[in-house]
Amino acid sequence: MVNFIADTEQLAAVEDYINNRLDYAPLAIAHFTTRDEAEAWLKGLAEPPSPARILIGDEYYLAWSSREENVRGIYRDYIIEPYIEELAARGIPPSTPAFETRAEAEGWLKNHPASPFDFVSIAGEHYLAVHHKRLMRHTLHPVASALTEWAETKRAAERERAQGAAEETEEGGE
């Protein structure tokens, strides 16, 4: 992949993205209200993009396919959670726009698009609003529950790594 980036003279763009990651929302190519809609879309494509990030509701998923095995699938992708973690660690501004309902927040965001991120408060809970310019929509991610879920996901991954390392050690010792 690095050679492709270098061969296509995109090193400066990649460096910009890495150094200014928080200036760009993770790209999603499509949005669906339900998982059933997303799966129908994936099944209906002659040659689906793979892998490709999509949105189902407000959550990121990764759509994938294997032409050789003729299988396709969708699984949850925790791409926005590290952004929420880093942005929240920098501090949620004390003067975030506050709304009583999600509909009010969505209406306000249509006229004040996040660029690409903004914090808003809905019924007293902080959300990270993410503007998906290409999809002409915002997603709203509850900060507290996203951070809790992200911490649990990281702990589970660490347990799996530790278990894998322990199994390798056992196999090497036999």
pLDDT value for 115: 85
pLDDT value for 20: 64
pLDDT value for 21: 66
> Which residue in 22, 23, 21, 28 sits closest to 139, CA to CA?
28
The sign of the torsion formed by the CA atoms of 145, 147, 149, 152 equals negative
How large a percentage of the chain has pLDDT more than 90? Answer: 59
d(CA 112, CA 28): 21
pLDDT value for 17: 66
- Residue 118, both tokens: 């903004």
The sign of the torsion formed by the CA atoms of 145, 62, 134, 13 equals positive
d(CA 151, CA 19): 24
pLDDT value for 32: 97
pLDDT value for 99: 97
pLDDT value for 129: 96
Q: Which stretches in the chain have pLDDT values below 50?
A: none
d(CA 66, CA 15): 30
Exposed, middle or buried: residue 91 (CB in 10 Å: 0-12, 13-18, 19+)?
exposed
Rg of the chain's alpha carbons, rounded to an integer? 19
- Euclidean distance between the first and the last CA atom of the chain, given in angstroms as a whole number: 38
- Provide the 10 A C-beta neighbour count for residue 125: 11
